[in-house]
Amino acid sequence: MFGKNTFIIAGIIFLTLLFTAAAGCIGSSPTDQNAVLKIATPNEITEASYYGNYNFAQITRVATPPLIQVDENGDYVGAVAKSWTVSSDGKTWEFTLDPNYQWSDGTSLTADDVKFSLEYAAEKITTAPSWIKSAAITTSENVVTISLADPVYRLFGDLVAINIVPKHIWGSIDDPEEYISAGPYVGSAAYYVQSVDTNSATLVLAVNPAWKGNAPYYGTVELHWFATEDAAILAMLGGECDTYWKYGASFPTSSVALLDSSEKFTTVETPSLKMSYVGFNTISSDAGSDLAFRKAIAYALNYDELVEIGASGYALSANSGFIPNGVPYYKNTPANIYNLATAKLMLDAAGYKDVNGDGIREDTNGSALTVTLLTRDKVAGELIKEYLQKAGLKVEYKFASDLNAWVELKDAHAYDIAYNGITAKGMMMDSGWATGYFASNTLGAGKLQNVDDPVFLELCAKIATTPDGDELKALISDLQDYYSDNMPGIALYWSTDVTPINTEIDGWYISKATGILNEINLLSMHPAN
Amino acid sequence: MKFDRRYILPGLLILLFLIVAIFPGMFAPYSISDRTATYQAPGADHLLGTDNMGKDIFSLLIYAARWTLMIGFASGLLAVFVGTAVGLLAGWRRGALDEFLMGTTDIVLILPKIPLVIILAAYLGPSPWVLIFVLGLLSWESIARVVRSKVIQIRSSEYILAARCLGFSDCRIMFKEILPVVFPVIVPKFVLVTAAAMISEASLAFLGLSDPQTVSWGGMISDAFTYSGFLRGMWYWWLPPALCIILGVLAITSLAFIHERGVREVMQL
Amino acid sequence: MNKVLARKLVRYAVCLLIVVLLVFLLPRCMPGDPVQCLVGEDVYLTQEILDSVTAKLGLDRPLFEQFQIYIGDLFTGDLGYSYTRHQNVADLIWDRLPWTLLLTGMSMLIGYAFGIIAGTWSGWMTEKKRAKIMTGFGVFVSCIPPYLLGLIFFSVFVYQLGWFPYKGFYETPDFFSVVYHMALPVLTLALFVFARNMIIMRGSVLTEKNQLYPQFAKSLGIPRRKIIYGHVMKNAILPILTHFAIDFGFILSGALFIEIIFSLNGLGRVMYTAVLNLDYPVLSGLFLVIALMAICANLIADILYGIIDPRVKRGDDQ
């Protein structure tokens, strides 16, 4: 397509030579100080601010890890904490530290550092979770105990985002969100941040000499960020970078075809926690609060086409239980089926008949059945609009061009049907299992909060205060039944995450939360053969 | 005045664009809501292939002419309207009013247009109307200047003096006598504002500051980049709208260029 | 101080006032909560912080008092605070400004130098085929949206041919690395500057050519090269100066797009990020600074004009 074969072949020969040369050095030390792994990313670090810049915080998670991390299955495994216990009332959490983690400046990582990091986040960071402010944290030798005022069973979802930082460095920094430094930043994992430069758009991770765990292969890992996604992908395809990473996101699905046609890259597809759905205004809309109407609409949406166009085929059609099969306590419910004839019959049966024969159904008052469709996504919005029109509805299309317009419209419940997306993080927000997107008593810009049914809200409250186990499993089963029976929202598709794999590198490990940029992967990656 | 043959080619091109913009249905094989398989390569069914939604790119190209030309010409008209009014007034009345109006012209000249459009679009939401108003209301300064100097030049000429002596009202003299004389100097300025607005539309679309509900050439290029058209090597997606913009602007500017015969200030945008 | 310059200064002051008023009024006249319009959309702030913003900017007080506070802040160099980036807007802009000025400055230097020379040449040699091709090329380039040319150059020279780096101002902060990294972005932008100035210069030379003095100089036996580049060019250059100010705004806007394509962390990127995050304090601050730079560019052009053209010095009005 680009006539680049010669370039690619030259690149492969060069890299092969490089790797054979590198392989010669492996015998003595497992780390090759000269080996560099380059990662391209569209997540720019606009300021060299550890706490102030969101992307910096995500990237440096591999250098100053939190207590725990997410593995390839979406389960929590240890990072700075080797093991942990929780009391039966969910109030006392004990973490035992892993002695492998040592600060790169030679200082040892102590329970005091952990206590400091949690309290520091509570005090200084605006986005810190609320439980942390009222928690009492005590230490004894290498054990940290968090005592909570109220039980929080979904504590880990928050802990994976709180980095453990060195007290002897940050203790003297009063306003961490404004603190800017080009590095080095003292780290505790296999790598530490050696430098960060916004002018060259590069962050360099160097091997931590004090690290006591397995030695990584690459002496240096570099992150290169680009202003556009296209530039990042071209840098990878052009051989400038070895792989691609984007926080919490798949490789852009519409570009996967490029990887398939490249000799150097293959792809790995993993089920994601992300999904797309339409929500109904069950609070103030006549049609939206009619269950028969919602169920009819579920037959009017062309799910296969939504997968094909909305996700370039990298998604699964969903079922009526709403939440994807990768989520804990998933239960099988009937699949969503597209059948326009059934949808029309059901609308007729629900009383929305086209009496005057103008092709548009009338509502129970005899006026044209008009639904307001709210969307922030151009492609999905246009498709859904078309499906609704095919079912005989008159659609008033409201496109929110920015978050501000969206928040205003959805907070005013100025819609009947709204298209929205669910993120992996959002899936587990509030009471979890996507409830945060529906419950009218939650807060947040990305959520519709379109259900005020007391049955649903009570279910959410119960889930929030129930520890993992059979009781929770039963509640989540009830929740999926509620989604399936009441259809406050219809899942359009469950996304698939696509990760590009450079075939010249072996040992890939893909975390469900952070993709390839995770500690385990950095330790296991090495040149192929 | 002898007809210049060099007008023919650009003139025909603009005429073609205008006809296409007014009657897109006559030229487009598909409507903009028709969909088939996505990301098709050019072929007999789809002259320029299909886009990420399976829409016929050639048809989109034709329907897009309307908004792009609309933004261009509407900005141009608005600029002509304001510029001519300011120029006429300043040149006819002179004195304090002239001073004030020309001062305003100086100020308008300085305001950086693209950053202003960006900040307004961020607050008000992207819409072609914001673009038209900002570009139209900020691009009249060169029109005002040429109109003013032309008016000053002819206001003391004999036939205007004669008209004044006959007691015709200022208004009548302006519309009947001065406007026809001033008209030829306005035309090239009008087309230059139009051309600049078309380029600006494309640039803002690239920043994501175009209304997704309107199909425009700039929006098409921006879509091609957003949905991997550029990476996939689908030149037939982004190049045709790009060429349409370039050719359109080229035709429009060359009209102005030929008109002024390479006289200076031609490219004063 | 001459009269014309004094009058211009008044106009610039009024222009600045209008820009300041615009930036001041826009967030306050928007529907919805002015606090949200002043801190930006994509941030989550506690009520205490919102209250402190309200108190600091006096949002609960009458508009005129708010304006007094705002002007006071501006005079102390306070352009507001970006809650998205956790930085003072003034610091943020000050940090990035040199790089954008380097990009625009280098492009203008190259574009003006070659544009003026090529314009003079093609204006003098209008009938030559090469001059016609040159003019056609200039018109063509100026009809391309800058970002599009940048993208095509990126695809061809960076990705396909691998002649230039993918991103950044440098890899290691030394002179040669900066030159290597800035080369393509500067050339792209310079091409536009070149095209515009060539066309203006060509038109200007055409008018000068028809005057009597070049013929007179020729009859005196002065070499042609000296007539063209010594006398004609000097006289024909005035329109270039008139356009300098407008061009400056245009080139700066062009630089914003070029920075995005070549991943250069200058003001353009700051603006792009601010647009994506609806970071209003940064957008307002940037607009203010860009307007101020445009005014300064005008002022410089006026002064240069006075030096080159003695008629202006005498205070004549055209």
Residue of C140, C253, C267 to mutate, interface with B, max B Cβ within 10 Å: C253
CB contact under 8 Å between A401 and B211, yes or no, is: yes
Is C32 a residue whose pLDDT tops 70? no
* Angle separating helix axes B179-206 and B57-93, nearest 10 degrees: 140
Residues 6+ apart with CB under 8 A from A315: A253, A276, A307, A493, A494, A495, A496
Banded pLDDT at A81 (limits 50, 70, 90)? very high
CB contact under 8 Å between B250 and C139, yes or no, is: yes
> Residues A473-478: contacts with CB within 8 Å, 24+ apart?
A473/A329, A476/A328, A476/A329, A476/A331, A476/A433, A477/A329, A477/A331
Regarding pTM above 0.90, the answer is no
Residues 6+ apart with CB under 8 A from B134: B113, B116, B117, B120
The answer to whether the CB of B21 falls within 8 A of the CB of B65 is: yes
The answer to whether A85 faces chain C, any CB pair under 8 Å, is no
Provide the residue type at A134 as one letter: S
> Quick check: helix, strand or coil at residue A106?
coil
- pLDDT at residue C311, as a whole number: 56
Residues of B in contact with C199 (CB under 8 A): 266-267
Residues of A in contact with C261 (CB under 8 A): 227-228, 231
Comparing alpha-carbon positions, the chain C residue that sits nearest to A3 is C160
Banded pLDDT at C53 (limits 50, 70, 90)? confident
The pLDDT tens digits of the residues spanning A226-265 come to: 998 999 999 999 889 999 999 888 899 888 988 888 888 9
Pick from B111, B114, B253: which is nearest to C139 by CB?
B253
The Cα of B56 is separated from the nearest Cα of chain A by a number of Å equal to 15
Q: Are strands A202-207 and A191-197 parallel, antiparallel or unpaired?
A: antiparallel
The pLDDT tens digits of the residues spanning A30-64 come to: 888 899 999 999 999 988 999 888 889 889 999 99
Residues in chain A: 529
- Apex C202 CA angle, C198 and C205, nearest 5: 135
Burial status of residue A259 (CB atoms within 10 A of its CB: 0-12, 13-18, 19 or more): buried
End-to-end CA distance of chain A: 29
> Quick check: helix, strand or coil at residue A327?
coil
Is A510 a residue whose pLDDT tops 60? yes
Spacing of C-alpha A242 from chain mean position: 23
CB contact under 8 Å between B53 and A309, yes or no, is: yes
What average pLDDT score do residues A405-429 get? Answer: 86
CB contact under 8 Å between B38 and A308, yes or no, is: yes
Residues in chain C: 318
- pLDDT at residue A15, as a whole number: 56
The answer to whether the CB of A280 falls within 8 A of the CB of A416 is: yes
> Residues C207-214: contacts with CB within 8 Å, 24+ apart?
C207/B263, C207/B264, C207/C236, C208/C232, C208/C235, C208/C236, C209/C123, C209/C124
CB contact under 8 Å between A254 and B52, yes or no, is: yes
CB contact under 8 Å between C85 and A127, yes or no, is: no
- pLDDT at residue A401, as a whole number: 74
Is A414 a residue whose pLDDT tops 60? yes
The Cα of C77 is separated from the nearest Cα of chain A by a number of Å equal to 18
Pick from A1, A399, A402: which is nearest to B233 by CB?
A1
Interface of C with A in 214-253 (CB under 8 A): none
Place of tokens 């091709």: C133
The pLDDT tens digits of the residues spanning C231-264 come to: 778 778 887 887 777 778 888 888 988 999 999 9
The Cα of B40 is separated from the nearest Cα of chain C by a number of Å equal to 22
Taking any CB pair shorter than 8 Å as contact, residues of chain B touching chain C are 103, 106-107, 109-116, 118-120, 122-123, 195, 199, 202-203, 206-209, 218, 221, 225, 230, 242, 245-246, 249-250, 253-254, 257, 260, 262-269
Pick from A226, A238, A403: which is nearest to C263 by CB?
A226
Taking any CB pair shorter than 8 Å as contact, residues of chain A touching chain B are 1-2, 228, 230, 233-234, 252, 254-255, 257-258, 308-309, 312, 378-379, 382-383, 386, 397, 399, 401-402, 405
Pick from B52, B125, B232: which is nearest to A309 by CB?
B52
- Apex B228 CA angle, B224 and B231, nearest 5: 105
Residue of A44, A179, A195, A199 to mutate, interface with C, max C Cβ within 10 Å: A199
Burial status of residue A491 (CB atoms within 10 A of its CB: 0-12, 13-18, 19 or more): buried
Residues of B in contact with A230 (CB under 8 A): 225, 230-231
Any chains having at least 3 CB pairs less than 8 A from chain C are A, B
The pLDDT tens digits of the residues spanning A93-150 come to: 999 999 999 999 999 999 999 999 999 988 887 767 778 888 899 998 899 999 988 8
CB contact under 8 Å between C166 and A7, yes or no, is: no
Pick from C15, C139, C271: which is nearest to B257 by CB?
C139
CB contact under 8 Å between A228 and C41, yes or no, is: no
The Cα of C147 is separated from the nearest Cα of chain B by a number of Å equal to 7
- Output phi, psi for B193, to 5 deg: -65, -40
> Of the ranges A383-397, B242-256, C123-137, C213-227, which is most confident?
A383-397
| Tokens at C283, concatenated | 């957008």
Provide the residue type at A342 as one letter: T
Comparing alpha-carbon positions, the chain C residue that sits nearest to B141 is C246
- pLDDT at residue A29, as a whole number: 55
Residues of A in contact with C171 (CB under 8 A): 200, 202
Comparing alpha-carbon positions, the chain B residue that sits nearest to A312 is B52
Is C27 a residue whose pLDDT tops 90? no
Residues of B in contact with A405 (CB under 8 A): 125
Residues of C in contact with B139 (CB under 8 A): none
What average pLDDT score do residues C206-214 get? Answer: 76
CB contact under 8 Å between A405 and B125, yes or no, is: yes
The pLDDT tens digits of the residues spanning C263-273 come to: 999 998 898 88
Q: Note the ipTM here.
A: 0.85
Residues of C in contact with B253 (CB under 8 A): 139, 142-143
Burial status of residue B44 (CB atoms within 10 A of its CB: 0-12, 13-18, 19 or more): exposed
- Output phi, psi for A144, to 5 deg: -115, 130
The answer to whether B52 faces chain A, any CB pair under 8 Å, is yes
- pLDDT at residue C318, as a whole number: 38
| Rounded Cα gap, residues C184 and C170, in angstroms | 13
Provide the residue type at C81 as one letter: Y
The answer to whether B54 faces chain A, any CB pair under 8 Å, is yes
End-to-end CA distance of chain C: 19
Q: Which of B218, B220, B215 is nearest to B204 (CA)?
A: B218
Question: Which string of b and e fits B111-136 if b means at least 16 CB within 10 Å?
Answer: bbbbbbbbbbbbbebbbbebbbbbbb
> Quick check: helix, strand or coil at residue C231?
helix
Provide the residue type at B237 as one letter: W
Any chains having at least 3 CB pairs less than 8 A from chain B are A, C
Comparing alpha-carbon positions, the chain B residue that sits nearest to C298 is B110
Q: Are strands A370-375 and A202-207 parallel, antiparallel or unpaired?
A: unpaired
Q: Are strands A32-41 and A243-244 parallel, antiparallel or unpaired?
A: parallel
> Of the ranges B84-93, B147-156, C199-208, which is most confident?
B84-93
| Tokens at A315, concatenated | 């998604």
The Cα of B55 is separated from the nearest Cα of chain A by a number of Å equal to 11
Interface of A with C in 224-253 (CB under 8 A): 224-228, 231, 234-235, 237-238, 240
- Apex B36 CA angle, B30 and B42, nearest 5: 75
Is A21 a residue whose pLDDT tops 60? no
| Rounded Cα gap, residues C86 and B180, in angstroms | 58
Kindly state the percentage of chain A with pLDDT values over 90: 58
What is the enclosing helix (H) or strand (E) of A124? helix A111-124
